[in-house]
Amino acid sequence: MLAVHELEVEPGGELLITGSSGVGKSTLLHLIAGLLDADAGSVAVAGRDIQALHGPARDALRGRQIGMIFQTFHLLPGMSAIENVELALLFGTMPPAEHRARALELLEKLGITHPRRPVEKLSVGQQQRVAIARAVACRPALVLADEPTASLDPQNTEQAMELMQSACREVNAALVCVSHDVSISPRFARRVTMGDLARGVGAGVGVGVPTHAGGASSR
């Protein structure tokens, strides 16, 4: 069972959650994103309880307000870098005529020099950059990163973290990152463990924050 007493992250804030494998880090992110249903409590993103929404309404909130960066990236093979980012923009509110320019802008900022190359022909580090661009494309309120450096060597890890944090700050998105990689800890002013969250220690900050997971549990 996963139980989180309280978790709050302010706009533009950054939080690192650490813990060993199997303690529920990915489950927590899936609860926040509405990919799993909580047995109790609430999960509010940008002022809306995602757990109270169902079907297309939940999907719409997730697509517009939550960006996700996965351990294995989950880019669509056979499609170019720019097409992967454009697909994310379909869930936002930006007019379709502006999608190509937005995707190219993001990929250029993140150092992708061949945006029309199929993603499977990009290096692992470049694929990570495309994943970051996709996550922030719709200017979400929240970005969730699940072991984002697990597939990277130390040099690419440092670069990827800098790019991810910078991209989130640019759109003022809250960043919640879960990882067992202790090398990235110094990059975060706020750090908690899964044990801290279960005990309700050090999780909350301030008032009036838009993103929180309170009393969420999954069996």
CB 113 within 8 A of CB 121: no
Domain coordinates of the chain in residue numbers?
A: 2-76+140-218
User: How do the pLDDT tens digits run along the chain, 219 residues long?
Assistant: 565 657 889 999 999 999 888 888 999 999 999 999 988 888 889 889 998 999 999 999 999 999 999 888 899 999 999 999 999 999 999 999 999 999 999 999 999 999 999 999 999 889 999 999 999 999 999 999 999 988 888 888 888 899 999 999 999 999 999 998 888 999 999 999 988 887 765 444 322 233 333 333 333
- Residue at token pair 């801290």: 196
118 residue type, one letter? P
CATH code of the region 2-76+140-218: 3.40.50.300
- The one-character DSSP state at 94 is S
Residue 22's contacts (CB-CB under 8 Å, 6 or more residues apart) are none
Strand pairing partners for 170?
Answer: none
Burial category of 95 from C-beta neighbours within 10 Å (exposed 0-12, middle 13-18, buried 19 and up) = exposed
